[in-house]
Chain A
Amino acid sequence: DAKTTQPPSMDCAEGRAANLPCNHSTISGNEYVYWYRQIHSQGPQYIIHGLKNNETNEMASLIITEDRKSSTLILPHATLRDTAVYYCIVRASGTSYGKLTFGQGTILTVHP
């Protein structure tokens, strides 16, 4: 699975959009980009994933660049409860439910 690079920490004001970047310059054509988050010491929570098209669900939006070498997770209206560690993970499709490899992630702090 391709390696990802994320900033170690970011701040965001409550109510504003939080834009979390991720670089995955060695991504392969069959690899998906997944985003998870971990609030305090809870289990990681799946947020969203995509291959090459932008994706949106009830939690967030995922913007993937045309060359697929980077992506941005967007929380459109961040709340204090969105304070968490956010992980960008690249994983091949069709890997028969293979493992997830977590990096250090980005610590997002949402402040009032």
Chain B
Amino acid sequence: EPEVTQTPSHQVTQMGQEVILRCVPISNHLYFYWYRQILGQKVEFLVSFYNNEISEKSEIFDDQFSVERPDGSNFTLKIRSTKLEDSAMYFCASPGRTSNYGYTFGSGTRLTVV
């Protein structure tokens, strides 16, 4: 089964620092998503990315966040100046064969802001 790969698995950063989370989605798919989950809370949508553009974003995805596709296979989520409340699990996801099929999520990056 195709996999979505995320790195690093755990990132510790100081408040105010920039972090970049990386993901390699299922190949040959133009859609891509980022979600986050604060400890003990539900999984929340951040942003969807299609063909090198943001197609939808949530209220959480403010100016501190950005998403890029630096090369053909990698996607990144950048947080410019981290805050304590950014501590969470961050998941990337790729859609399935068609829009009606399930999404495949990566194993996540645990971000800890101290």
Contact = CB atoms under 8 A, between A and B. Distances in A.
Interface string A12-45: 0000000000000000000010101010011111
Contacts of B55: 96
Contacts of B42: 102-105
B99 interface: yes
B62 to A, nearest CB: 17
Interface residues of B, number: 30
B22 to A, nearest CB: 15
A31 B42 CA distance: 22
Contacts of B103: 44, 46, 100
Interface in A53-112: 87, 93-105
Contacts of A36: 102
A43 B101 contact: no
Given A43-B107, A43-B108, A45-B105, A97 B95 contact: yes
B34 to A, nearest CB: 10
12 contacts: A43-B107, A43-B108, A46-B103, A93-B100, A94-B99, A97-B99, A98-B56, A99-B45, A99-B58, A100-B35, A101-B45, A102-B42
